[in-house]
């Protein structure tokens, strides 16, 4: 799948570059300001540290295991890097294996992983809503209404999530989903369990501040990386427009998408920037620089984390393997004595 991810990303970049005009793209790339690349790297490092803090805190929910910082960092690096890109479930699969390896049951691990994924959007969606409201109240005529108005659905979306996450209700929905078979019911069960985890995190914000602030720093670092990547080619964009384009381009996190969103993020993020007023050619080259730090460079440290991931999986398979049943040895026959 990693080879497929590389091919998808390349095809997407070539396709958008052709639409923008290869001559325009060449002119934009000639104006590279390399000092902004350091800001891209710093933003991604901040985001990684934030996600490590969030993962450790979510793992400790309701008396769960305390993941060592170094091991949690390896888990996050592997999830953002080559293994998360190559696995169909994305980087969340690595989180699941780590939590199982440290003693959580299957349902507990799934609930925490799903809760962490929902927490990402519980933090990003209000920021996108605030950006949409700021743009609607302003006079920026370059931003299309189709970029701002859909984010108003965040309010009823949060109301539904709050209603579903009431303990007696989410347990009933979870039991209903588990009574049947098939991927839709399984996805519903995981989502409902994740809402229960998210509610537990939000009801004790001081106790779970590392998770809440960790995810906030994760998004802040990644958005900073995109901003610096655009500044590398002297692209100016307002903070509300940047946040809105980023949130629209990341309708699914790169940790939740198979192949790390290769090909999908490049196209969606580029056109989201175009819809808030950035010309196509600068938007494309800025997104490609952003993806260099966001997707490709993490592959290098992720290779070092692969042995840890293999240990997680091997340990999990050993725990799940049924005991080997050996046939009972035949009882010794009594020796006959001659008369």
Closest CA to 295 of 256, 250, 246, 262: 262
Residue 211 and residue 95 in contact, taking contact as beta carbons nearer than 8 Å: no
Tell me what pLDDT residue 338 has: 45
Neighbours of 334 (CB within 10 A): 6
Residue 202 and residue 158 in contact, taking contact as beta carbons nearer than 8 Å: no
pTM: 0.85
Q: What does residue 298 show for φ and ψ, rounded to 5 degrees?
A: -60, -15
Considering only 133-142, 143-152, 328-337, which range has the smallest mean pLDDT? Answer: 328-337
Mean local confidence (pLDDT), 302-325: 58
Closest CA to 218 of 102, 47, 2: 47
Q: Is 332 helix (H, G, I), strand (E, B) or coil?
A: coil
The two three-digit tokens of residue 106, written as one number: 């299957």
Tell me what pLDDT residue 125 has: 93
Count how many Cα atoms sit within 13 Å of the Cα of residue 173 in the half-sphere of its side chain. 19
User: In whole numbers, what is the pLDDT of the chain averaged over residues?
Assistant: 82
Q: What pLDDT, in 10s, does the model give residues 86-98?
A: 454 557 788 888 8
Q: What are the CA-CA distances from residue 77 to residues 11, 45, 302, 338 (Å)?
A: 26, 11, 5, 76
The two three-digit tokens of residue 126, written as one number: 């209000």
Is residue 147 scored above 90 in pLDDT? no
Tell me what pLDDT residue 315 has: 55
Tell me what pLDDT residue 322 has: 44
């Amino acid at each position: 799948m990693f080879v497929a991810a590389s091919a998808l990303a390349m095809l997407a970049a070539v396709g958008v570059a052709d639409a923008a005009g290869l001559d325009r793209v060449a002119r934009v790339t000639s104006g590279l300001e390399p000092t902004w690349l350091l800001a891209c790297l710093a933003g991604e490092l901040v985001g990684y540290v934030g996600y490590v803090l969030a993962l450790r805190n979510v793992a400790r929910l309701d008396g769960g295991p305390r993941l060592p910082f170094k091991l949690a960092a390896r888990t996050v690096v592997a999830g953002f890097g080559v293994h998360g890109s190559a696995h169909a479930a994305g980087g969340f699969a690595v989180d699941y294996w780590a939590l199982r390896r440290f003693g959580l049951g299957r349902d507990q691990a799934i609930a925490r992983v799903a809760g962490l994924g929902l927490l990402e959007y519980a933090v990003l969606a209000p920021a996108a809503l605030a950006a949409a409201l700021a743009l609607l109240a302003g006079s920026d005529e370059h931003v299309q209404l189709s970029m701002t108005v859909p984010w108003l659905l965040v309010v009823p979306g949060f109301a539904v999530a709050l209603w579903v996450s009431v303990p007696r209700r989410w347990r009933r929905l979870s039991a209903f989903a588990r009574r049947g078979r098939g991927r839709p019911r399984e996805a519903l069960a995981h989502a409902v369990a994740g809402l229960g985890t998210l509610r537990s995190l939000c009801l004790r914000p001081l106790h779970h501040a590392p998770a809440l602030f960790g995810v906030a720093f994760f998004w802040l670092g990644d958005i900073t990386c995109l901003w610096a990547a655009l500044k590398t080619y002297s692209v100016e964009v307002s903070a509300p427009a940047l946040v809105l384009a980023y949130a629209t381009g990341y309708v699914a996190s790169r940790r939740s998408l198979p192949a790390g969103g290769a090909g999908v993020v490049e196209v969606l993020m580029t056109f989201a920037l175009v819809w808030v007023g950035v010309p196509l050619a600068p938007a494309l080259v800025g997104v490609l620089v952003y993806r260099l730090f966001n997707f490709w460079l993490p592959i290098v440290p992720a290779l070092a984390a692969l042995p840890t991931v293999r240990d997680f999986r091997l340990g999990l398979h050993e725990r799940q393997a049924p005991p080997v049943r050996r046939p009972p040895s035949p009882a010794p026959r009594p020796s006959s004595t001659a008369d």
